[in-house]
């Protein structure tokens, strides 16, 4: 996620430097960030459904090892087949 953020900023800076101010560069950067964020939104605790990347109201680029809501170990392998 941090790499995509850096890439998005560099894209906007490069387009601004080469072609001038462009709203298309900002739109492309936003799409890149949304696409990169999609897998993070699906990484939830299997017991209570809380997202592992949320720390209160903040989102961080690394997941919790234990769920902050129910205390379940998120690093363990799921038991059984779904």
3-state SS of the chain is CHHHHHHHHHHHHHHHHHHCCCHHHHHHHHHHHHHHHHHHHCCECCCCCCECCEECCEECCCCCCECCCCCCECCCCCCCCC
Q: Greater confidence, 9 or 62? A: 9
- Give the percent of the chain with pLDDT over 70: 93
Q: What was the pLDDT predicted at 34?
A: 92
Q: What was the pLDDT predicted at 33?
A: 92
Q: What was the pLDDT predicted at 64?
A: 87
Q: Given a cut of 80, is residue 50 above it in pLDDT? A: yes
């Amino acid at each position: 996620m941090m790499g995509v953020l850096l890439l998005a900023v560099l894209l906007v800076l490069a387009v601004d430097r080469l072609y001038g101010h462009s709203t298309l560069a900002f739109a492309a950067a936003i799409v890149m960030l949304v696409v990169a964020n999609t897998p993070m939104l699906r990484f939830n605790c299997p017991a209570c459904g809380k997202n592992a990347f949320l720390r209160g109201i903040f989102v961080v680029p690394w997941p919790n090892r234990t769920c902050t809501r129910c205390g379940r170990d998120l690093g363990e392998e799921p038991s059984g087949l779904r």
